[in-house]
Structure 1
Amino acid sequence: MRFHANGPIIPDVLLERCDEGRVVFLCGAGVSLPSGMPSFIGLTQYVIDYFDPPKDSEIMRAFQPWIDDPTGINMPLDQIFNLLHLEYGRGEVNALVAERLQASSGNDQVGHHHDVIKRISTSPNGEPQIVTTNFDLLFELGGDFPTFAAPAFPDLAFGGAVEGITYLHGRLADKDADQHSYVLSSADFGRAYLSEAWATNFIRHLLEHYTVVLVGYQAEDPPIKYLLQGLNHDGQFDRTRIYAFDKGAPEDIEAKWRDRGVTAIAYPDHPDLWQTLEAWADRADDPRAWRGSVISMTEQDPKSLQPHQRGQVAHVQRSVAGAKLLADAKHPTHPEWVCVFSGSIRSAKRASGYGEDAEVFEPNVAYGLDDDLQNLSDEDYRQGIFNDDLLSWRHGDENPSDAHRLGGRAPDGNTNVPPRLWHLIRWVGDNLASPVIAWWAIKQNGLHPRLLNHIEWRFGQREELHDKARHIWSLILDHHKDPRNREWDGAWFDLKRRITTEGWTPSVLREFGRVAAPKLDIMPPYSLAGVRPPSADWPEIELGHLGQFNVKFLERHNDDLDIPDDVLPKVFGLLEDAMKAASGMLTDIGTIYFSTPTCYPDREIDGEDRHPDAADAFKLFIELFERLSQISPQVALGHFLNWPMEDKFFFKKLGLYALSKDNLFGPEEVGQRILGLSQDVFWDTDVSRELIFLLVDRWADFPEPLRHRLGQRLLAGPDQKGYWSDDVYPSMRDELVARYARYLELQGCELVGDQSDRLSALIATIENWSDGWATSTVTERGSQIGWVGTDETPDAVLDLAVDEIVPRAKDDLNRDFGSFTEKRPFTGLVKANPRKALSALSVAARKNDYPQAFWSAMINEVPDEISPRLRRVFLHRLSRLPQPVVMELRHSVCRWLEQNITKLIEFDSELAWDVFDSVVDGVLSGGEAATESGIGEISLGGEGIQKSRRTYQHAINGPLGMCAQALFRAVPGEKQEQDSLIPDYIKNRIERLFASPGEGSDHAVSIAFSKLNWLMYVDPEWVKARLIPMLAFDHTAAEPAWNGFLCSNRIPWSPLAVLVKPLLLEAVQWVENQTWDRDLAKVVTQWLGFLYLFKRNSEDGVTKQQMRQIVREMSDDTRNQFIWWLGEVGQKNDEGWEKLVTPFLNEVWPRERIYRTASSVESWIGVLDDTGTSFPVVYRAVKRFLVPVETDRHPFYRFTREVGTDEPITIQFPEETLDLLNAVTPQILSRPPYELPKILALVGETSPELRADHRYLRLMDLVERM
């Protein structure tokens, strides 16, 4: 956890131990520096200045290098003090030291930093717990504390306390005192730590009882050298018992302290450290109050806070006390904190909406913690690398035993959970009124039974819950209670096996009922809504905002059942019950448009049959009903009488189909039932096929009076629907009457009396009537549950005069309320009659009307096969569009140019370039704003996130970036020859784009550099003269140039690589510092790696020394990505591991300890698990770069599991695996290991002789002690 944005990350375990009073601070000279005390070198300088030894003396020869270069490899200062003692006497030198340390600096901050540390290290009894190697008395200011001076320390081995101030190297005496016993010289250190070892023994006992934090030291300081060499001489020391603050980059200081058995905590600069320690002191003064202040931040939207502030809340939630405080909070907490607590939500990839100015949302920016891993890949997840999830069990949580019983388990929903998770369950229950929690619940693959039980209980307690919230939560609970939604459902195949083995027993029939039962399937929503929780409240929330709600049942997997006649009635009844339940579910999820298959699959079919999952059961139901009506007509009739005919999903259609069965119903009953249908059912277009086919099939059987009544019902038409206006209703009614009744006539069904004449007269009033309209009423074209679609039928405008088309099309452009179809007749007109569409736009243009939607349709949808004359007219119209219109259409027209430039040039080169130039003129007329990319800003809480827009991704979505793409596509020839040159008329236009305002210039540059390899091949001189200079890091276009170049992801062609190699060698750190939306430093390093592995003996190759330096300059993250790339090289090249990767590791990879970090260990293990049969040889090369590391992640996934046909690595190479485990496992573990027991079991099974190996015994001992 960080206390401040730039402060060090304090481990949770250290904070927890401090709260418990189990932390002692061991303080060095750095703590006293701000109070005016000297450093060790300053103190040495003071003593030497006082004595002023001759310049040629041994003392000055030893000290002069410190003056010249304090960072050099110089004689240790304790040895210089030893020379001073020998020359001037120990008593006199030490008295001088005492004099210097008693001098007051007049600094107002004297003792302030000491006071901070005293507050942090306070014991449960209220006393500071401090050990210091300083001699000064600044820790004693402001209080009367117990003090202990060397060698009279508290006897910790016999229960002594370390409360107070313990002076490890001596306590400052008065300058006039007779004795000044300080540990200053190498001889003093030798006695304290080696020969007499009283300091070493005290620290060893201290570490047995406390966690020690070093402050004010560097790893090279003499006290540290002597102390830690004595403690960690055998490498067996527990690094979680001692921490050290040190200034520098994490990877730098980690390496310095690791071999000393210390866990390093890095900080950028000293003020950052003290700011953090002061905040820690505030926390230590009253941990409960501090937790309360952190919990108060949960009132705010987490998106408005900084990552380290969210990290503080997360830190508090890792403890039972913190989770309880959150659940008991009196103030309302913001529900979006659930997104912070969820590791998967924080780590989700960014998403964007649709359109030119679509919002972009990055979950890691909105909810991420300061110590989260960034840009996790699928490969990372495969290796068990993921971000901390606070909603899951974690080390430190209890593990209730009643959840692990083979018998006598508590009922689901009453099982105990760890207290921390129970409090979070309570918090979730308190926030059920928020759609955010519902959205989160939908994203989970199963909810804990205790949480489900608590949610139901809270429903009963919260009568004020919004009706929609209650309804949606009931759906979510239904979904999560069904175990079929948590894993692949193979129940159908299990049922088939039981039928084969047992037959249709009562038990199997019950199983069929369970298999046939519908289930509510809820998937997370697509796109932006899938990663960003809803912001609306329940009245505005729709199901689609929260997830994709579907009903699934009887998934037969294209497999059939053999159902004997004797069990058919029971099977049919069970299936009927399932369909009734499914209908209820479909109603619950608000299904507006749902289509079932036709009951007549062989009549009037056009196209493929497309239906939802429910179609499978529907077809089976019809098949079984057919059989049942033959073998048991009375049973079938009994079922029919219980069908809800008003059901809009299944039984309305099935009922009409059943009436067609003449062995079940006579003609009079059929006619009366049809006449008894409500108007809504009779005229429901979803069952029009079934109704009309029923009338056609039974018409001849109806007596004339009944036919007359049916004809009258048909000619009367439907009632006015709520969404039909008074003006539209008559025409809609007449058209439906004509469609239904005329189809009957076409099938030879005669109407009675004057009904046929009345129908003919009605049809005569319908404009452009065709009998095909009647046939289309019953034609099955396939249908599906769907989102809002578009209807591009041009009928509404096809026959209008050209001056009427645009006004009418504008009226139809807006989708009717309640309709699932957006009408776009003008788009259809462009496709059906492009000449008329263009004429309509030309007429509107004379009135200065340039409707953007219609011009976009004209540009994007004009058919390829139009006549040359019409194409020429269209291009002329396009080239003469007013500049403001082009500016509005810029994204559409520029994308069209990019895609069609070559066709235009082939048609008429001069006209094509006129169009291109006029489009560019139009875009430029809009100024800087018009050149902006269509990618919107990444925003958070209404504020933009600072990400560079000078990128290739922005370029390909920017109007001038598209124009630049068009120019390069316009280079003559299908394939350009080497040195064939880019024509000047294209280069001149490119140069114009380079000089455009705003983002346009960046976009053109980025597009050009994405093609740098090809340009170098075609026009090398222009590239050398005009483009290569832009890659200079101080060039104004360097950022878009490099981004485009790297986004091409093509290794530079050799002649180009020769030119750019000097810049590539310096590019890694520069690229790492850019704020791009993609991590492209890995591309640079991979190119350089390629130039070494495959080109090192060529002019464009990279030398061994250069490559080694490049690896050194990479950040830790980039270096880990490079390790992953080496794994790709090993896998994708013949003998790649032996001939490429292993030599690289042996000869190039830097050996400095600074590059052996915890994260790199995970990367090396990730590489090793893909080495196959080359594992032993690669492991031998990697082993030297491994260090012991303890992690919550599980990088050994591949070592215990089969992948494809390959056995686990452990089984293939047990000894090497054992050695790997031994190398990366610390001597002491603070938490139970995850994969270690499994791997050791495999090692023992595969190679029993290894059970006696000392490595096996050590690791097994760790496992057994946890």
Structure 2
Amino acid sequence: MTYLHGKVQKDEDPNGEGLILTSADFGAAYLRDGWAARFVVELFREFTVLFVGYSLNDPIVSYLVDALAADMHAGGQFRRAFVLAPYGNAAGEREKVVKSWDAKGIVPLPFNRGQKYGRQTRVLTAWAKEYRQGLNSRISVALEPTRRPFPPPLPDVEVKSILNNIAWALSKPDGSVAKHFADGNPSPDPTWLAPLSEVEIPLREGQAPARLFDWPSPTLGADGIEKPHLAPLAGEGAACLTSLPLSPITFELGRWLAQHRASRNVSDWVISRGGQLHPFLAQRLNFELETLAQPYQAFWRIVISGALLRPCFPGRLFPPRLTRYWPPDGGTFLLRAAQPYLTVRKPFRLGGSKEPPGRVSDLADFDVVLTDEDLVRDVYDHRTEDHVTEAVVRLADPLTSSLFDVCRLAEEAEVFGLTEHSVVWVPCLASDDDEVIRRWHGPLLLLRLLVVALPAIVRSDMEAGLVLVRRWMVLGRQGHALFQRLALHALTETDAVPMTDAVQFVLGGDGTAFWHFQTWPELARFLRARAASFGSDDLNALVRSIEGGPPEGLFSTQPGHDLVRRLRGERLGKLKQGGAELPAPLVALAREFETQPDVLVGKVETGWVVPATAEDIAHLPPTEAAERLLAYQDDWDQGHALSDLFAKNEGLWFDVLPLLIERGASGSLWGIGLAAPRELKDDQTISRIIVVYRELAEQHPRWLADEAVAAVADCLDSWGKQVSTETELHAFLPLWDLAWAASTQNGKSDLLERPDGVDTAINAPGGRLAGALLKRLLLEPVTADGGLPPLLKPFFDRSAHGETHSHRFARIMYASHLVWLHRLDRAWTKESLIRPMETASPEERLSLWEGYLWQPYWNEHLLSDLADALFAILPHMREREETVGDALGRFLGDVYLTKPNTVLASTRHKPSLLTAFFSHAGPSERAAMARALGARMKDAGDQAPILWSTSVGPLIRDHWPADHHKNNIQVSTGFADVLLNARNAFPEAVDFLLGKNLITSKPGQRNEFLDHFLLLLPLKGEEDEEIRHKDNAVLYPEHMLRLLDAATEGGIASWHTGRISTLLRQIKKAQPDLANSPVFVRLKERAGGA
């Protein structure tokens, strides 16, 4: 205990000369001599401080806060300070007290002073007791609550407190508490894993807060000083940390986690981290893996294998030039781009099912993607260029290997859409329908590339074509459905393979190539196209196989089942259609199915049926049409048929709507069918539909629910700008009112399972209805500060003020038009939008800011009103890194470049917005601001040096912190465009950035800075005028050398060595004496001595 302001000591200091009581005493201690201020600064730097019994009116607190504020502005770093803050019963007093302490930078723990102080005394006593018990106390804090599943039956605020306490206990640096936690008997319940992994714990010395499972590694720099680097158990980059040991805390937590490998809680958590594991965790999970149940075995083998790691790829360097020539290294790039890997997400579980997993797809929803799908699509889009065709022909065999890897990964991971029983969803390979092909993605695009290259392959070298097609046949015989179809397509399109061999392939193996549904589009074409070419032996073999039917066990149906008859008839029909002579007893069956289309629609209940169309219904009476619609196999097909009916017979569409409601139609029938008119432009028809929808909603109150209200909201959103007359408006607004009431009562939408972000809001009924009002507002004659139109304001009020999901979605949509609404009605916007942007729950604040930052127009008046809300959101921005944190970085960067004083202004007790941003921003947010600066530099063109000297340079020099743990390769990459567009300010830009350690790289880490920076530097002989000004290796060789040295400290990837070597040659030519410098020699060694 320290008596900072003295202690009454009658014997030693009878006159009280050591006491600090008067204003003069405080002035001497805190201002003139400053010894108390220095002590307080050290106290707050080293300890977590709690004020007990203090008031904001106390001179002591005023002096303390002033001392802290002065040191904070000088760059000091402190632990958080807390205060027990009493408040009275007056309305709004609690909020006022909290806000007042927050403004001082001290975290209030509010309590009602009417409750007296017994509870506070008990809390402080309990804290002191736990502190005295030391390690045993921390172990108890960690173990006791976690013996039972999460969450405990307590209020949310208490659960959060328990989580914070457990995280604090486990964070003991030597790992001793975590070890007891991992060795606990019984072991702590794995349901605590996900919530514990989200708790952030402040670190010392101004470091960013860390999470338990991402704790910094205790590594030492070359100078022997500890330089902690995050070493997560799982997450982005974790698999690359082979040389970075885990902290004792995460090591022990990894042991605990591995004990629960057969738990969905652990697999779900690893999935949420992208399936990337630290090598230690992968090793622990792999130990005695065969003892686990099969689904978990399969899941962990996939994760541990590294199949979820995106292959390292240097970037898209050549596609823009494909119209002129094929680059020398184009083949290497295409094969790298075509290399597949897996992504993973949690699977859908109906009603949160707790059933144990029966297969790996019950544990994880895997997907196969290509390393760079855009590059493969670029090649496909240029397929008609001769030089591209020639390149693809040369690469057909290795591209086949990539497709085989796709099949292998898909089958191991049970990827829906690519495994043999699901490949049916891929359309006919011979289709040249651009609309269909545009929907092909990833691996299927690779398949398409091989399909379109086949004619050129055979034309250029028949022998090579034969070898390739036979390879496809071999892979097809192994059961890979994609290759069965690819081989059948090749056997139809070319004569490379003898017909007898082709028939043996079709009938061979386990029968899937000839009988299973997935090969039917290609098999149908093959039988029809080749029927006249079959020899008698080949045709007889096919007919015998058809007569015998599918092999036993291939289908669960009996030989006489309708499905078997249909399968036999379809195959006979294609042979007859192609001109084959069939035995007389089979002709009737063949004729029955002769006109069957090649592409059929699958139905679980009935096998394969020909899809019905709107033409089948359009001529029927309303009652019969409604019955026919409801006879479809599912409501998805019902909805599409109803939507098509609107185009075919608008009058019948109106007639069947009430009939469908009376018959209990629901789901996608309404979601798709009611949205059919949303693109209408005819005002008269729109008015009629609005009246019909309103009457149906009034007559059938329960109809307007779930997907029906979503479709109506979609239509209203589309028609908002077209409802211009007063008569139309008086029909539009009542329907809007009915739809709004329905949207606020629906809590079943799957949208509510997602975070309340912009993507969710623009698709949810509440957001669509808000969009309809905004579009309708555009038609009103409004003026600045004129207020919302009286006719519309009640609807804006109704949608903005409330706490249902629809209200939150509406506020998000309104926030996306914040500057416009603020200019129109400042008071309404401040109360309805800006206030919740400051004071709502962190989750809603993030959503509102996400809405605003979607298109963040601003003016000085709006920024003035937003200032407090900005300060309030900054501590939370990293919770939505990509949508809020990065956008705030770009936004504040833009504001700084336009109105620097707006973000630089500070007060005695509050830092500037820019300072607050940097204190909370992580690498991603800083990188976003750096990219915004680079984009403005690029847009400035010849004026970029002026922008550098007046704005960008001073920001980096004077305000950008040099803390190494937040300035990583992401931030370096963000500054690439600043350097590339600095022109004659390049030397100073290099000096500033290197001076703040903003250009960096680490071993084993993808160097995206070099990917971007080297991409846009001119190479030897390049004449592109747009980038000649970036030839800084010639103009400023010494600075370019220093920059490359810093950027390659972590090593040089093989695909960068060529360009680095070229730059070194340019530097040597421009200033020969640099070739003997240590930096040049070091760079040359890193580049392989080239």
Q: Write the deviation string for residues 776-835 of structure 1: whole angstroms up to 9, x where unpaired.
A: 55xxx7xxxxxxx965xxxxxxxxxxxxxxxxxxxx6xx239x7x8x795xx34354323
2:619 pairs with 826, 835, 838, which one?
A: 835
1:1013 and 2:841 are equivalent in the alignment: no
2:412 pairs with 588, 591, 609, which one?
A: 588
2:264 pairs with 435, 438, 441, which one?
A: 435
- Tell me the distance in 1 between the aligned counterparts of 2:444 and 2:477: 21
The residue type paired with residue 257 of structure 2 is V
- Number of corresponding residues: 890
* Deviation at residue 232 of structure 1 after TM alignment: 11
2:137 pairs with 290, 302, 316, which one?
A: 290
* Deviation at residue 465 of structure 1 after TM alignment: 0.9
User: CA distance change for structure 1 residues 311 and 395 in 2, over 3 Å: closer, same or farther?
Assistant: farther
User: CA distance change for structure 1 residues 709 and 484 in 2, over 3 Å: closer, same or farther?
Assistant: closer
The residue type paired with residue 1141 of structure 1 is K
Q: Write the deviation string for residues 725-761 of structure 1: whole angstroms up to 9, x where unpaired.
A: 44x945444444444345445545445xxx2x22223
- Tell me the distance in 1 between the aligned counterparts of 2:335 and 2:552: 43
2:344 pairs with 524, 530, 536, which one?
A: 524
Q: Tell me what 2:368 maps to.
A: 550
The residue type paired with residue 840 of structure 1 is E
1:132 and 2:17 are equivalent in the alignment: no
Q: Tell me what 1:872 maps to.
A: 651
The residue type paired with residue 539 of structure 1 is P
- Tell me the distance in 1 between the aligned counterparts of 2:202 and 2:489: 64
Q: Tell me what 1:448 maps to.
A: 278
Task: Note the 1:1229-1240 alignment, pairs <5 A.
Answer: none
- Tell me the distance in 1 between the aligned counterparts of 2:971 and 2:136: 45
2:645 pairs with 833, 855, 863, which one?
A: 863
- Tell me the distance in 1 between the aligned counterparts of 2:788 and 2:528: 77
User: CA distance change for structure 1 residues 1031 and 215 in 2, over 3 Å: closer, same or farther?
Assistant: same
The residue type paired with residue 614 of structure 2 is V
1:1151 and 2:971 are equivalent in the alignment: no
CA contact (8 A) 1:656 1:691 kept: no
CA RMSD of aligned residues (A): 7.2
Secondary structure of 1:772's partner?
Answer: coil
Task: Note the 1:262-411 alignment, pairs <5 A.
Answer: 264-269=106-111, 277-296=124-143, 297-302=145-150, 306-319=159-172, 320-340=175-195, 342=197, 388-394=210-216
The residue type paired with residue 456 of structure 1 is N
CA contact (8 A) 2:618 2:645 kept: yes
Secondary structure of 1:314's partner?
Answer: helix
Q: Write the deviation string for residues 866-912 of structure 1: whole angstroms up to 9, x where unpaired.
A: 35xxx4354244357767958999964995487378758339x6x65
- Tell me the distance in 1 between the aligned counterparts of 2:680 and 2:45: 77
The residue type paired with residue 718 of structure 1 is P
CA contact (8 A) 2:139 2:180 kept: yes
The residue type paired with residue 684 of structure 2 is I
CA contact (8 A) 1:932 1:998 kept: no
The residue type paired with residue 778 of structure 2 is W
CA contact (8 A) 1:212 1:241 kept: yes
Secondary structure of 2:778's partner?
Answer: helix
* Deviation at residue 452 of structure 1 after TM alignment: 2.2
1:457 and 2:291 are equivalent in the alignment: no
Higher relative contact order (CA 8 A, sep 6+): 1
* Deviation at residue 491 of structure 1 after TM alignment: 14
1:1069 and 2:835 are equivalent in the alignment: yes
TM-score by length of 1: 0.54
The residue type paired with residue 332 of structure 1 is S
Secondary structure of 2:135's partner?
Answer: helix
Secondary structure of 1:433's partner?
Answer: coil
Judge which range, 1171-1180 or 418-427, deviates more: 1171-1180
Q: Tell me what 1:61 maps to.
A: none
Secondary structure of 2:648's partner?
Answer: coil
User: CA distance change for structure 1 residues 265 and 1108 in 2, over 3 Å: closer, same or farther?
Assistant: same
Secondary structure of 1:760's partner?
Answer: helix
- Tell me the distance in 2 between the aligned counterparts of 1:1065 and 1:606: 49
CA contact (8 A) 2:485 2:519 kept: yes
CA contact (8 A) 2:219 2:244 kept: no
Q: Write the deviation string for residues 381-440 of structure 1: whole angstroms up to 9, x where unpaired.
A: xxx999744333527677899999xxxxxx997974432332233223212112343344
The residue type paired with residue 571 of structure 2 is Y
CA contact (8 A) 1:326 1:427 kept: yes
Q: Tell me what 2:19 maps to.
A: 183
CA contact (8 A) 2:503 2:538 kept: yes
User: CA distance change for structure 1 residues 898 and 246 in 2, over 3 Å: closer, same or farther?
Assistant: farther
- The share of aligned pairs that are identical, in percent, is 13
CA contact (8 A) 1:522 1:547 kept: no
The residue type paired with residue 256 of structure 2 is W
Structure 2: runs of 5 or more not aligned: 86-95, 229-239, 320-325, 387-393, 747-764, 878-883, 938-945, 998-1008, 1010-1035, 1043-1090
* Deviation at residue 183 of structure 1 after TM alignment: 1.9
CA contact (8 A) 1:738 1:762 kept: yes
CA contact (8 A) 2:295 2:357 kept: yes
Q: Write the deviation string for residues 595-638 of structure 1: whole angstroms up to 9, x where unpaired.
A: 6999x9989999977672663797689998999984999x9999
User: CA distance change for structure 1 residues 475 and 723 in 2, over 3 Å: closer, same or farther?
Assistant: same
CA contact (8 A) 2:957 2:992 kept: no
CA contact (8 A) 2:527 2:571 kept: no
1:539 and 2:357 are equivalent in the alignment: yes
- Tell me the distance in 2 between the aligned counterparts of 1:1064 and 1:490: 44
1:816 and 2:605 are equivalent in the alignment: yes
Q: Tell me what 2:1028 maps to.
A: none
- Tell me the distance in 2 between the aligned counterparts of 1:1208 and 1:533: 54
The residue type paired with residue 138 of structure 2 is R
1:466 and 2:293 are equivalent in the alignment: yes
* Deviation at residue 919 of structure 1 after TM alignment: 1.1
* Deviation at residue 1163 of structure 1 after TM alignment: 7.7
User: Rg: which structure is higher?
Assistant: 1
User: CA distance change for structure 1 residues 1079 and 552 in 2, over 3 Å: closer, same or farther?
Assistant: closer
Task: Note the 1:486-885 alignment, pairs <5 A.
Answer: 521-525=341-345, 536=354, 538-543=356-361, 545-550=363-368, 557=376, 558=379, 585-590=409-414, 591-593=419-421, 612=444, 615=447, 630=463, 645-649=477-481, 682-684=514-516, 689=522, 693=526, 702=535, 708=540, 711-719=543-551, 723=555, 725-726=557-558, 729-751=560-582, 755=583, 757-763=584-590, 766=592, 769=593, 771-773=594-596, 776=597, 791=602, 815-816=604-605, 828-836=612-620, 838-841=622-625, 853=635, 857=639, 860-867=642-649, 871-879=650-658, 885=664
CA contact (8 A) 2:507 2:542 kept: yes
Q: Write the deviation string for residues 658-680 of structure 1: whole angstroms up to 9, x where unpaired.
A: 99999999988888888876655
* Deviation at residue 523 of structure 1 after TM alignment: 0.6
User: CA distance change for structure 1 residues 225 and 582 in 2, over 3 Å: closer, same or farther?
Assistant: closer
The residue type paired with residue 593 of structure 1 is H
Higher helix share: 2
CA contact (8 A) 2:766 2:810 kept: no
Secondary structure of 1:268's partner?
Answer: strand
User: CA distance change for structure 1 residues 1021 and 229 in 2, over 3 Å: closer, same or farther?
Assistant: closer
Q: Write the deviation string for residues 37-89 of structure 1: whole angstroms up to 9, x where unpaired.
A: xxxxxxxxxxxxxxxxxxxxxxxxxxxxxxxxxxxxxxxxxxxxxxxxxxxxx
- Tell me the distance in 1 between the aligned counterparts of 2:531 and 2:71: 97
CA contact (8 A) 1:551 1:585 kept: no
User: CA distance change for structure 1 residues 1093 and 981 in 2, over 3 Å: closer, same or farther?
Assistant: farther
- Tell me the distance in 1 between the aligned counterparts of 2:539 and 2:531: 10
CA contact (8 A) 1:1031 1:1037 kept: no
TM-score by length of 2: 0.61
Q: Write the deviation string for residues 689-728 of structure 1: whole angstroms up to 9, x where unpaired.
A: 57985998698785x67765654444444346664544x9
Q: Tell me what 2:1045 maps to.
A: none
